[in-house]
A and B are shown apart, each in its own frame.
Chain A
Amino acid sequence: QVHLVESGGGVVQPGRSLRLSCAASGFTFSGSGMHWVRQAPGKGLEWVALIYSGGGNQFYADSVKGRFTISRDNSNNMLFLQMNSLRADDTAVYYCARGPIGFADYWGQGTLVTVSS
């Protein structure tokens, strides 16, 4: 079955960087688009980024454009999110999710990122 496991979260100071990873299994990773979605404590879902199956197309929410980069390694079934210039309002649980482009059909358990001095 589809299995997505995020890692890399933690506490980081404002302005610093962090790289999240998502290990995928149970499906043809190289044939699937992938999303990152986040959820601030007590708040709703906020889409962050999408990468197409081949990695050649990426799309971002305005709130992270220019600071975050989504990438993937299809050889090792891995998804990444490089987060630079982190701010307090980036504090959230970050989920990776498998997409058909228009929606997300399987989600990981999430990894918590806390931006605080």
Chain B
Amino acid sequence: SYELTQPPSVSVSPGQTASIPCSGDNLGDKYGNWYQQKPGQSPVLVIYEDAKRPSGIPERFSGSNSGNTATLTISGTQPMDEGDYYCQVWDSNTVVFGGGTKLTVL
């Protein structure tokens, strides 16, 4: 079965750029999607189909996908961006999630 790998944690200073990678075999051949989840809340879609932002998601969130790595980038990171981030793909009629990355803004 297909697997996605994320680092367990990423730290960033307020106002700086955070990059969260997600790796998988030939991931660039699939669409990468990203979700944000804050403690006690349901996940929220922040990027879909590699680089598209749903309505209401701030422009500081962007995505890219090439080769074996998809990346979620948060420019000008704010304290409110702290939370867990999950990458996800659709493969062989199944949804696959990465293990999640805890983003700390300090």
Interfacial residues, chain A to chain B (CB-CB below 8 A)? 35, 37, 44-47, 50, 59, 61-62, 95, 100-110
Q: B69-106: contact bitstring with A at CB < 8 Å (1 yes, 0 no)?
A: 00000000000000010101110011111111000000
Could you tell me the dominant secondary structure of chain B's interface residues?
A: strand
User: In terms of DSSP, what is the predominant structure of the interface of chain A?
Assistant: loop
Q: Which of B30-66 contact A (CB under 8 A)?
A: 31, 33, 35, 37, 42-45, 48-49, 54
How many residue pairs at the A-B interface have CB separations less than 8 Å? Answer: 59
- Also in contact, A47 and B96, with CB within 8 A (given A62-B1, A102-B90): yes
The 8 Å CB contact of A95, one of B43, B45, B86, is: B43
Residues of A within 8 A of B98 (CB): 44
Q: Which of B13-41 contact A (CB under 8 A)?
A: 31, 33, 35, 37
Partner of A35, one of B33, B37, B95: B95
> Do A45 and B33 touch (CB < 8 A)?
no
Whether A50 lies near B45 (C-beta < 8 A) is no
Given contact pairs A45-B100, A47-B95, A47-B96, A103 touches B42 in the complex (Cβ within 8 A): no
Other-chain contact of B31, A44, A50, A102 (Cβ < 8 Å): A102
Q: Quote the shortest CB–CB distance from B64 to chain A (angstroms).
A: 16
A59 and B94 contact, CB distance less than 8 A: yes
A61 to B1, CA, bound (A): 10
Cα distance A106–B35 in the bound complex, in angstroms = 11
Closest CB in chain B relative to A82 CB, distance in Å: 19
Q: Which residues of B contact A109 (CB under 8 A)?
A: 42
Complex CA distance for A106 and B37, rounded to whole angstroms: 13
